[in-house]
Amino acid sequence: MTAKVSPSGGEIAKPGDTDMAVVDLLGFDVTATTADRFAELLLQRARSGQGGHAVTLNMEHLGRAARDPVYGGMIRSAEMICADGAPVHWACRMTSGSRIAQERIAGVDLVETLLQRGEGVSFGIIGGVDPKLALAKYGVSEDRIAYLNSDIIPTDPEGLSRVAKDVAAAGPQLVFIALGVPKQDIVGQAVLAELPSAVVIGIGGSFEMLGGLKRRAPRLIQKLGLEWAFRFAQEPRRLFARYCLLYPAAVWRLLLWTVFKRGASSGDATAC
């Protein structure tokens, strides 16, 4: 059973796939658990045909969701959401309490675990730069790749429908969509409409990192929650608008939410 944590810190019983907690964060139901258990949840749903949309929630999702309510609604409706960004994980910890076992679940680590533990699961891949490098590194045989499309993916209704129907015809159980936010989520929803039995997950540039095409931040920087600074130092021109224009408002909103929820929790505790 899944326990949902209310803003005041109490747990609300709710049917679910496994014994996990769900933390309400700005209206996003973030699964509070360990990285291993979250990966097993995705694989379980893929193998059983339950399917669903998985999101590794970070500051870009929050920033774009605040600007675009339609996109925000799409992400909030995802069946599986984990805390990817360090600020998102911090806010979940602050509002839910340390009694809940939860880890920061970085998207690239999650993809690595899914490739390592997804025995017998067929994969679909949309986008990405030479994803076969990562697949070969983790021993994923070609017969398990039900669908692979690294071409430019259209977002017009007709083109998107065509891609989604092609994926559905191939029938993968777990679909990695490496197109970046928000495109990968839009494509994921289109795929689910045609193939609801699949698990779809947006993974950004995870394959490039796992395949050795891009360098990931050293482990210490990851632990300090400063991967964003490492990436910005590598690609300042490409990331300037995202980090300097989109993120600040999202960080401020997340901070206010966290302070408010912490205050509400303290007030309820005092009243008791």
pLDDT in tens, 169-180: 999 999 999 999
Question: Does the predicted model carry a pTM greater than 0.75?
Answer: yes
Range of the domain at 147: 2-271
Stated length of the chain = 272
Mean pLDDT value across residues 244-255: 89
* Mean pLDDT, the chain, whole residue set: 88
Structure confidence at residue 228 (pLDDT): 84
- Cα separation, 237 vs 178, whole angstroms: 21
Q: Please state the rounded mean pLDDT for residues 242-254.
A: 88
| Interval 3-60: pLDDT, tens | 444 333 433 333 344 457 899 999 999 999 999 999 999 999 999 999 999 999 999 9
Alpha-carbon gap, residue 62 to 58, rounded angstroms? 7
Residues 200/114, Cβ–Cβ less than 8 Å: no
Q: Give yes or no for residue 183 having a pLDDT over 90.
A: yes
Element (H, E) at 97: none
| Number of domains the chain contains | 1
At residue 11, the pLDDT reads 38
